[in-house]
Amino acid sequence: MEILTLFLIAISLSFDSFAVSVSTGLIENTIKFWQGVRIAIVFAFFQATMPVIGWFMGKGIEKYISQYDHWIAFGLLTIIGLIMIRESFKKEEAKTFNPLKFTTTIGMGIATSIDALVVGVSLAFVTKNIFLMILIIGSVTFLASMIGMLLGKKVSGKLGKRMEIMGGIILISIGIKILVSNLIS
């Protein structure tokens, strides 16, 4: 799989973490650098771990569905992309939680990475280098989370919704690219 494609997947997966980080910055506008680093590490850990779990699940069934894997990858990425777009239009609930509390941070990390589990299943059909996948997804998520918290302290909350929509569009586009490249070859 091309490194560029992995970066695009990592960017699209990191939009949920970015949006939550923006919200964290809005809620806790006095957040300290090291508090932000801790949150970003948790988000990066889950965002990089979930695709690995999905990747192993996908590898276990690959030999049975290798003729249809590009259709499955296309379908899964499209569904996740559409869900991300749909979720971006839902109204925000009033935030009364403390994002700096470690258990809350863990919960946010898991919640923002569930879609990465399904993406990992898709990646099992198109990439062999799991370590590169972990490195890229984790690094991009860490950076996106740190930037999101910083921006959250500076800008309005509408940016997060736009980023979720863009993340959904990117995932759908990658699914189309995988499908078309397999149908052409």
Q: Which residue is it, tokens 């929509």?
A: 165
pLDDT at residue 48 above 90? yes
Greatest alpha-carbon pair distance for the chain in Å reads 53
Residue, of 96 and 86, whose pLDDT is higher = 86
In this prediction, residue 94 carries a pLDDT of: 38
C-alpha dist (Å) from residue 9 to 59, 103, 104, 157, 168 = 19, 27, 26, 23, 10
Instruction: State the pLDDT confidence band at 11, using cuts at 50, 70 and 90.
Output: very high
In this prediction, residue 45 carries a pLDDT of: 97
In this prediction, residue 57 carries a pLDDT of: 83
In this prediction, residue 158 carries a pLDDT of: 56
Average pLDDT over every residue of 22-36:
83
Contact 43, 17 (CB under 8 A): yes
Most confident of 38-42, 109-113, 133-137: 38-42
**55-94: pLDDT as tens digits:** 888 777 766 766 776 787 788 778 877 877 887 777 655 3
Residue, of 11 and 166, whose pLDDT is higher = 11
pLDDT at residue 123 above 70? yes
| Domain of 11, in residue numbers | 3-90+98-184
Instruction: State the pLDDT confidence band at 163, using cuts at 50, 70 and 90.
Output: low
Number of domains in the chain: 1
Average pLDDT over every residue of 106-113:
83
In this prediction, residue 37 carries a pLDDT of: 96
Instruction: State the pLDDT confidence band at 116, using cuts at 50, 70 and 90.
Output: confident
Helical H segments across 66-156, by residue range:
69-88, 102-111, 114-123, 130-152
Residue, of 149 and 99, whose pLDDT is higher = 149
Residue, of 136 and 99, whose pLDDT is higher = 136
